[in-house]
Amino acid sequence: MYKAVLYSLIFLFASSLVASVFDYTYFKPITLLLSLATITSVTVASNFLLSKLYKVIPNPESALITSLILLFLFSPPTTSTEYFTLIIAGIIASSSKYLFNFNMVHIFNPAAIAAVITPLLGFDGAIWWVATPVLIPSTLIVALYLIRKLRRFELALSYFGGLILGLIISKQLTQNNFSTFLPEILISWPTIFFASIMLIEPLTMPNKNKLLNLFGILVGFLGANQYHLGPVFSSPELSLVIGNIFAFVLSNKKRYFLQLINKELVADNTYQFSFRSTPPVSFNPGQYLEWSLSHHNPDIRGIRRYFTISSSPTEKEIKLTFKLFSPPSSFKNEFSKLKVGYKIQASHIAGDFTPQVSADNLVFIAGGIGITPFRSIIRYYLDKNFKKNIYLLYASTNEGDFAFKELFQQASKQIGLQTNYFVSSKGQKITTDTIREIKNYQNYTYFISGPDAMVKHYKSILRSLGIHKIKTDYFPGF
């Protein structure tokens, strides 16, 4: 995720630089380049120093993203005062991650809180020059790419809906000016940039999907209205900061330190890592964590990755399971070399791929390593002795790829789990006929986990049978 946002911002800056060369912006190319050099060096350096002071793993991509967002918010400097403003904004943004945090997880979007605090110190505020008409095509390309990749269409639409609602209630948007004012919101306001770049930061938004829409509506509604909190007047950045407080209050966000206590091979090239956590991790079966592992020469996927917690909340250890493909990512390659006793950081528990405790008539469809959330759920049902009507349809390329067979056999005896394995290399596939073989298949809720293409394929199969109770597993970076 971080790389995708970073490269999108770089593309947007390159677009602004080209536009400035042809005098389509108010700023000279040299001004933009000096602004870039100033804000990135200050933000990255201050973030690095603060990470050493607080003894946490720095995320260079996150610092670069923050600096590039600030670049588009604050006026590119031409005077010493404007340079100092940019420097102060960068320092505030970096400091906010360490000063405004709870359980070692920052509360506010760093760029937004910097834009709120900087003018309170007597410096110029954000002007959001990214909302320049000439940059709209590039901004739109970035928005469509990121929202599609991160699957945040509902959040973006909720934000836009809240914005429109706020404008209508405040009587800024009326039937008479609708056709002219609406395009202005998209072209002259930073709406597209805000919704696709700033709103979607995972650590400062709710970690439950059912709260995301409320979050988007709230931020949009506040951004449309005129108000002030003491000396702070309404602005896009203030609306996001208030939204961050909403997310913080309703979300359980902590940073965890996990010590590796065991590593084992559970299938061909598939490893399970068991950790002891401080503090204990409270989660629901089927949720995931963001894992941080600093290492030399990280590849495009970076030093942070999202992985399902494959253990059950009833187990003492936190388990992570992944398949090591060839060639592996730099993250997985480094992870696979960890020695017992090594400590790693994780945060941001999230995910709604969690059946209700009272739910019955369930079908779990797993593809390859997509079995991990089901391992968590089934282990939980076993330990709680929940007897349910559950089918597990487990597909993989080869026989040796299947993990946790013994657990599923135990679940078959104890809670009635019915497991069917499908080896694609032998021509075995999950088809419409497979689903029809389940008695009263229309009355089941279906959970699908695996590679994105597989999930879409099986989802289309289920819909072709008139099945609509479908939940799919997704987290950034799957």
In this structure, are 326 and 400 located in the same domain?
no
3-state secondary structure at position 183: helix
One domain, residues 165 and 270: no
Residue 476: is the preceding peptide bond cis (ω within 30°)? no
As a whole number of Å, the end-to-end CA separation of the chain is 10
Kindly give the confidence (pLDDT) of every residue in the chain, 478 residues in length, as a single tens digit, with 9 standing for 90 and above: 778 899 999 999 999 999 999 999 989 999 999 999 999 999 999 999 998 898 877 778 889 999 999 999 999 999 999 999 999 999 999 999 999 988 777 899 999 999 999 999 999 999 999 999 999 999 999 999 999 888 889 999 999 999 999 999 988 878 788 878 888 888 889 999 999 999 988 888 887 778 999 999 999 999 998 888 888 898 999 999 999 999 998 887 788 899 999 999 999 999 999 999 987 888 999 999 989 888 788 777 778 888 999 999 999 999 999 998 888 888 899 999 999 999 998 988 888 899 987 788 999 999 999 999 999 999 999 999 998 899 999 999 999 999 999 999 999 999 999 999 999 989 999 999 999 999 999 999 999 999 888 999 999 999 999 999 999 986 544 3
Specify the pTM.
0.82
Could you tell me if residue 133 is inside a domain? yes
Range 182-210 burial, b when 16+ CB lie within 10 A, else e: eeebeeebbbbbbbbbbbbbbbbbbbbee
Q: Classify residue 296 by burial, with Cβ atoms within 10 Å: 0-12, 13-18, 19+.
A: exposed
What is the domain range of residue 316? 255-350
Q: Which amino acid is residue 20, in one-letter code? A: S
As a whole number of angstroms, the distance between CA 435 and CA 364 comes to 11
Q: β-strands 390-396, 228-229: how paired?
A: unpaired
Is the residue at 112 inside a domain?
yes
Residue 329 in any domain: the answer is yes
| H or E, element range at 458 | helix 452-464
User: In the structure encoding, which two tokens stand for residue 377, read together?
Assistant: 């759920």
Strands (E), 64-159: 101-102, 105-106
Boundary of a domain, candidates 350, 376, 402: 350
Same domain, yes or no: 459 and 319 = no
Please provide the size of the chain in residues: 478
CATH of the domain at 386: 3.40.50.80
pLDDT at 105: 79
Per-residue confidence (pLDDT) for residue 373, from 0 to 100? 96
What 8-state DSSP symbol labels residue 337?
Answer: T
Choose the final residue of a domain: 350, 385, 420.
Answer: 350
Do 395 and 317 reside in the same domain of the chain?
no
Contacts of 73 (CB under 8 A, 6+ apart): 89, 111, 115, 126, 127, 128, 129, 130, 237
Same domain, 274 and 387: no
Per-residue tokens: 304: 């942070």
CATH number of residue 259's parent domain? 2.40.30.10
Which of 300, 308, 230 is CA-nearest to residue 478?
308
Paired tokens of 154:
């509902």
Res 232: pLDDT: 87
Instruction: Say which residues have a Cβ less than 8 Å from residue 107's Cβ, sequence separation at least 6.
Output: 100, 101, 204, 244, 245, 248
Q: Is 390 helix (H, G, I), strand (E, B) or coil?
A: strand
Burial class (CB in 10 A: 0-12, 13-18, 19+), 77: buried
> In the prediction, which pLDDT does 60 show?
80
Judge if 68 and 135 occupy the same domain.
Answer: yes
Q: Residues 177, 133: one domain?
A: yes
Domain membership of residue 356 (yes or no) is: no
The last residue of one of the domains, among 220, 250, 280, is 250
321: helix, strand or coil: strand
Number of domains in the chain: 3
Same domain, yes or no, for 203 and 339? Answer: no
Which residues are within 8 A (CB) of 155 and not within 5 positions of it... i.e. 6 or more apart?
A: 195, 199, 200, 205, 212, 213, 215, 216
* Same-domain pairing of 382 and 328: no
Alpha-carbon distance of 372 to 307, in angstroms, equals: 9
Claim to verify: residue 131 and residue 215 sit in the same structural domain: yes
Q: Are residues 240 and 121 in the same domain?
A: yes
- Mark whether 134 and 26 lie in a shared domain: yes
Is position 224 within any domain? yes
Residue 355 falls inside a structural domain: no
Residue 477 lies in a domain: no
**83 lies in some domain:** yes
